[in-house]
Chain A
Amino acid sequence: MNDIEKKIRDKYIEMNDEAAPDMDALWSRIEEKLPEKDEETTPVTSKPRIKMNRIVSFAVPLAACIIAVIALPQLMNSADNSPSPIISDGNYAEDAQASPADEENSDNQVNDAADNAQAEQAEQIDQAQPSGDAQDTYRSALEAYGSTVEYEMLSLNPSETVSVKPAGIRGSDNSKYFVEDEVLESTQLFCRASVKDVYFSDGGDTVCYTLEADETIYRGTETDTEKKTITAIATVTNGEMFKDKSEYLLCENRTYLLPLRMENSVTDTYRIVFPYAPQIEITLDNYYIFHNGWNTLTDGEISDVICTSQGNDDFYYDRMKLCSAKEIKKLLEYWENS
C-alpha cells in the first residue's frame, strides 16, 4: 500500500467514523436478544488463554503419539474393510455411516487428551449432526438433521475454490432447464469423485476438473471401485470466467456424485452432463446435497438445505435438499432401468 492509498484509507476510516452508529447501544440491543445458554467454560481472559495454549502445545503432540501407537492400526484396519459407499448393497448406508463414526470417536479421544473445551464443542456439534455410533441403524436426512439445515452446518471439507456468479437458467434456451429424465438419458456413468484441481482452458471457455474417482458406476455393467484419476470438463456458458458468468463450479477438496458422459476415451476425459446447476455434493458423513430438479430424490425423507445466494442469477440457492444414500440408490436404480 503506497502513501496515497494510506491517505485514502485514513480519510475513508475517518469518514466512516463520523457515520458509525453507537456501538455500545447496539451491543445492548444485541445482548437483550441473546438467548440463555448454559455456559460450559469459564469466561475468556487473557492469562488463562496463555496457559491453555501451553497445555495444548504439550498435549497435542502427546495425544498424537498415543493415537499413532494405539489407534492408528485399528483405524487402518477398519478403513481397509469399509465397503464402497454407493455399491447397491442393502446395508451400505448403515455401513457407510459407521466409518465416519469411528473417525469421529477417535477424534474426540484426541481432543479429550489435548483440550477438554474442544471435546465439549465436538460433542455439541455432534448433537446437531447424525449420530456416529456404529450401533445406530440407518438414519434418513430428515431424521438426522430435521426438516431444515444450513449448508454451512453440514460436514464438508474446506475449499479454496472461489465460486463465481453462476449463469443458471436463462431466457428461452430449453437446453439449460434441468430435466431429470433428459439428464439421466445422456448419462453414461455416475462417478463418485473428489476434486483435486480446478482450472480453465480454451481461453477460459472450458472449465476442467482433475478428479480422483473412487467409484464409477456404468449403466448396465458392474460398479468399478478401482481408484483412478480422470478429467471432467464443462463448457462455460457465457464465455470467459472473468465476465462473472461461469457455471456452478465444483469446489476443490469436495466430493461429488457426477453424471458424466465420455468425451475422449484416450485421455480419459469426461464431460459433465448438466453443468448449469449445482452437482450432487457428498458430505463427509455421507449425506447428499442436491437440487429439487432431481425428482427421484425428492420422494424420500429429505431435509431442506438453506444456502446463500450466489447472485441474482442463482436459481438454485433456495431449492437445495439433503438426502441419504438410500435415495441415491433409488436414483441409480431408476437410471439403470430407464
Chain B
Amino acid sequence: MFLQIFSQNRHKNAPPVRIFSNSDFIGDVHPAYTDGINVKDIIAMTDKDFQLHIRSVASGSKEALKLIYKEYGRMIYSAAFEVVKNRENAEDITSDFFIRLYTSAAATYTPGNGHKRWLASIAHNMAIDLLRRNSHEQLLDEDEESARQEIPDTDAPPDITVTDRITIAQAMQTLDDKERQIINLKFEADLTFRDIASVMKMPMGTVTWKYRSAIEKLRRCSDCE
C-alpha cells in the first residue's frame, strides 16, 4: 500500500498531517504524532493503543491524556457541537469531557466495543445532559442565535428547491437534528452504523435510513457533484 503524507492548513494553530493511500483519503493526524514515528503507527489509534493510553490516564498521566486529546479532541468537540449547536457550550463540553476522562471515566473503560464509540457515546450523552439542564425557552433562543452565528453564509433562500445549487453549509441546514448528528458521527468520527446506533440509542435501521436521506439532501451541494 502506498501512503502519501502531506500537511495542510486545517486548524488555525495546529495543522495536521493528512494521510492518503493510493489517492484515497484515510484521515488526519496531528503533527505531534509524525515526529520520529513510523507511518504505520500514525494512521489511526488502534483499540490496543487506546487501551494503553487510557490505562495511563487512569493512572494519572497527563501526557497520555494529551495524546488522546490530540487524536480525538476535535471529534469530541464536533459531536458535542452537533447536539448543542453552540460553540461555547461545545467547548465547555469538550473541556469537561477530558477532565472527566482524567478524573474518573478512564478507569471505567472496557475494551472490546471500540474506543471511538465509547468516546463518542460519552460526549453525545454529556451534550444531551447539558441540553436537558437548560430550560426549553433558553434553548430555543440559543439555537436561533447560534445558528446565525455559526453559519457564515446567511443568504440561503428560505425555500430551497431541489434544483438550486447551494453550499455544503446551506445544505447542512436542510437536515434535521438527527441527520446532522448521524452525518457528523459518520464523517468526523468515522463510526460504523452499528456504532452510531449505539451512540444515539436508535435502531440501526433508522440510522441507515436517515443517513441515506441526509446524503440525498447533501447531494444538492454544488461542490459535491
Contact = CB atoms under 8 A, between A and B. Distances in A.
Interface in B49-66: 49, 52-53, 55-56, 58-66
Interface stretch (A64-72, A158-166, A171-179, A205-213): A158-166
Given A158-B110, A165-B201, A9 B61 contact: no
Contacts of A162: 197-198, 201-204
B97 to A, nearest CB: 9
A5 interface: yes
A18 interface: yes
5 contacts: A9-B186, A26-B91, A31-B62, A158-B112, A163-B201
B201 A22 contact: no
A25 B183 CA distance: 27
Interface stretch (A79-87, A114-122, A229-237, A327-335): A114-122
A235 to B, nearest CB: 18
A76 interface: no
Contacts of A54: none
A21 B52 contact: no
A201 B194 CA distance: 22
B161 interface: no
A263 interface: no
Given A11-B224, A121-B107, A309-B128, 17 more contacts: A8-B187, A12-B168, A20-B78, A21-B87, A23-B69, A27-B66, A29-B95, A34-B99, A38-B60, A40-B60, A41-B55, A44-B56, A44-B61, A44-B63, A44-B67, A121-B58, A241-B203
Interface size class for chain B? 35 or more
A7 interface: yes
Interface string B181-225: 001001110000000011001111110000000010011010111
A124 B74 CA distance: 29
A242 interface: yes
Interface in A1-53: 4-27, 29-31, 33-35, 37-41, 43-44, 46, 49, 52-53
Contacts of A46: 37, 41
A120 B73 CA distance: 27
A134 interface: no
Interface string A212-246: 00000000000000000000000000000110100
A310 B201 contact: yes
A171 B168 CA distance: 41
B107 A9 contact: no
A153 B219 CA distance: 43
A22 B25 contact: no
A16 B78 contact: yes
Contact of A117 (B55, B66, B152): B55
A33 B128 CA distance: 23
A62 interface: no
B51 to A, nearest CB: 9
Given A18-B152, A46-B41, A26 B73 contact: yes
Interface in B93-151: 94-95, 98-99, 102-105, 107-108, 110, 112-113, 125, 128-129, 132, 150
Given A16-B188, A158-B112, A158-B113, A10 B77 contact: no
A18 B56 CA distance: 33
Given A29-B95, A44-B61, A242 B187 contact: no
Interface string A308-319: 111100000000
A202 interface: no
A17 B186 CA distance: 16
B13 interface: yes
B108 to A, nearest CB: 5
Contacts of B225: 4, 7
Contacts of B165: none
Contact of A308 (B67, B128, B183): B128
A136 interface: no
B14 interface: yes
A128 B106 CA distance: 13
B172 interface: yes
Contacts of B219: 4, 8
A230 B41 CA distance: 49
A153 B108 contact: yes
Interface in A131-181: 150, 152-153, 158, 160, 162-165
